[in-house]
Chains A and B, each alone.
Chain A
Amino acid sequence: MDIVAPLVKTGLISEALNQWLAVPIGFIFGFGLYHAGFTDSRKIAQAFYLKDVGVPVVMFSAIVTGMLGLWILSLAGFIDTSKMYYLPTYLTPMAIGGVLFGIGMAIGGFCPGTAAASIATGRIDAMVFVLGFLGGSILFGDLFPVWGDFYNSDYHGVYRLDELFGVNLGLVIFFIVIAAVGGSLLMRWGQHLFWSTPPDQTMQPEQVLKYEAPLVGVALLIGFGLAFVPSAYFFGGSGEAEYYIIPKQQGPGPVRKRQRGPAVVVPPATAPAGTMLPAEGDEGC
């Protein structure tokens, strides 16, 4: 198959059209969040008590869907992964950020995406949460020199799990599918064990199974198939794209890193298509 994606990087759609396409894509995202029940802070927080494990199950399913889609399209030669923007790893700041993020979620009952969606449904606690979120963001930005060095520490470039474990990329995909399915079943079992009555009485287990089982089956089959594909095939069969061979753990990092300078002096986001946009790299989200 000819490489056609990412559409905006291969020039098939204009930059402007790409931005406008984000509106219907965002619509699907928001629609999905609402129908997952993610606009309810109680449902989100109850995940941390194993009282309603819908939240991690939805997250796992979304990751598996995006992951299988991305790597299958790459395998088929439809999407040029070397033209994609990948999130770089800054391991310690991300781990510490994750712990703090979890603490904030358990206290506040939202994460940014779910809070935004919840505001659109009129919920006042979501509005207050976002006010706090904006406050936390501006605190981070304005006092950036205080934690700037930590923020930029432990840099590994684009660092994937298959590189970490030294195994096939396809095997990692298969393992993640297995872990998602197994983890979801385990958490549902835990919910059943600790909380006799499920909080969402409208969900009949038989019906849920009827809709979920085929999707889970397909994911497991695809994952099993991908497990035997050599890693190089995911990058057009000609070895890894240049982008992937960024050496890791070499002090302050390769060229990209040095561009950024000591205190995040970032070049403008008008770099030619196909190159990395550091302005995006600093938020990722």
Chain B
Amino acid sequence: MNLRCRFPPVVAGVVIGISMLLTFVTAGRGIGVSGTMTRLVATVQHWIYPELTEKSAYFGHYFAHGAHPLDNYLSYLMVGLLAGALVGSLSCGDFRLTVQRGPRISASSRLFLALIGGAITGFAARLARGCTSGQGLVGGAELSVGSWAFLLCIFIGGFGTAWFVRKQWI
């Protein structure tokens, strides 16, 4: 096993858990990713429809008092996340512009399904107030009932869907 490039699952989990613990200790909050993406999309929409976005019931508060949506803790975290994954892949010679897909699916079908899956996940993350990291891992550590329900339901949804998209993956 090449331990430099692939950690055993529990070891990798402990590394991710430590990053979460560090945000608890320094910031009093948790890690998160989807928040940055929502703020990014709000920023883009604000370029095109400034008034509409500022009056939006959901995106509006990002712009309250002239604030910039991306001037946020999670954006800094995202910069570090991208750098960490980039350094990891470069040091392992694994940086490649490629489409990851199962053996029985074409690249274009895979990309189409990635787009559809991304859209469903994006909607779901907003509805659940967070994604796997911000709602699942952080709320899981905080023993939040909602987060544990979210985690459980991810696996219900995932296992329930797996059979229908099996051609894509196995």
Complexed CA–CA distance, A99 and B150 (Å): 8
Whole-angstrom distance from the CB of B95 to the nearest CB of chain A?
5
Complexed CA–CA distance, A264 and B59 (Å): 10
Q: Is A266 an interface residue (CB 8 A)?
A: yes
Complexed CA–CA distance, A137 and B24 (Å): 26
Residues of chain A in range 88-135 having any CB-CB distance to chain B below 8 Å: 88-91, 93-126, 128-135
Q: Do residues A106 and B161 form an inter-chain contact, with CB atoms below 8 A?
A: yes
Categorize the interface residue count of chain A: 35 or more
Residues of chain B in range 97-130 having any CB-CB distance to chain A below 8 Å: 97-102, 110-111, 113-130
Task: Give every chain B residue within 8 A of A139 (Cβ-Cβ).
Answer: 119, 122-123
Q: Do residues B6 and A280 form an inter-chain contact, with CB atoms below 8 A?
A: no
Q: Do residues A70 and B21 form an inter-chain contact, with CB atoms below 8 A?
A: yes
With A30-B88, A109-B114, A215-B10 as contacts: A8 and B34 at CB distance below 8 Å: no
Task: Give every chain A residue within 8 A of B99 (Cβ-Cβ).
Answer: 123-125
Chain B residue at minimum C-beta to C-beta distance from A35: B7
Q: Do residues A49 and B33 form an inter-chain contact, with CB atoms below 8 A?
A: no
Q: Do residues B118 and A132 form an inter-chain contact, with CB atoms below 8 A?
A: yes
Q: Do residues B121 and A110 form an inter-chain contact, with CB atoms below 8 A?
A: yes
Complexed CA–CA distance, A136 and B122 (Å): 4
Q: Do residues A128 and B114 form an inter-chain contact, with CB atoms below 8 A?
A: yes
Q: Which of A87, A116, A118, A120 contacts B146 (CB 8 A)?
A: A87
Whole-angstrom distance from the CB of A184 to the nearest CB of chain B?
8
Whole-angstrom distance from the CB of A129 to the nearest CB of chain B?
4
Task: Give every chain B residue within 8 A of A114 (Cβ-Cβ).
Answer: 132
Q: Is A204 an interface residue (CB 8 A)?
A: yes
Task: Give every chain A residue within 8 A of B41 (Cβ-Cβ).
Answer: 134, 137-138, 141
Q: Do residues A22 and B82 form an inter-chain contact, with CB atoms below 8 A?
A: no
Residues of chain A in range 125-163 having any CB-CB distance to chain B below 8 Å: 125-126, 128-142, 144-145, 147-148, 151, 156, 158-163
Q: Do residues A105 and B121 form an inter-chain contact, with CB atoms below 8 A?
A: yes
Task: Give every chain A residue within 8 A of B139 (Cβ-Cβ).
Answer: 87, 284
Chain B residue at minimum C-beta to C-beta distance from A200: B6
Q: Which of B25, B58, B64, B140 contacts A140 (CB 8 A)?
A: B58
Task: Give every chain B residue within 8 A of A32 (Cβ-Cβ).
Answer: 7, 12-13, 15-16, 18-19, 84
Complexed CA–CA distance, A64 and B141 (Å): 7
Q: Do residues A132 and B135 form an inter-chain contact, with CB atoms below 8 A?
A: no
Task: Give every chain A residue within 8 A of B96 (Cβ-Cβ).
Answer: 121-123
Q: Which of B28, B126, B135 contacts A8 (CB 8 A)?
A: B28
Task: Give every chain A residue within 8 A of B65 (Cβ-Cβ).
Answer: 268, 270
Question: Which 9 pairs show the lowest CB-CB distances between chains A and B?
Answer: A108-B117, A285-B134, A26-B80, A61-B13, A132-B118, A102-B157, A65-B17, A136-B122, A30-B84
Extra pairs beyond A41-B114, A264-B61, A282-B61 (18, CB < 8 Å): A7-B26, A35-B5, A49-B166, A49-B169, A58-B16, A66-B141, A67-B141, A84-B29, A98-B156, A102-B158, A107-B168, A112-B122, A132-B117, A133-B37, A142-B59, A159-B144, A284-B134, A285-B32
Could you jot down 9 A-B contacts, CB within 8 Å?
Answer: A57-B13, A67-B142, A90-B129, A98-B128, A99-B157, A109-B100, A120-B85, A121-B96, A160-B143
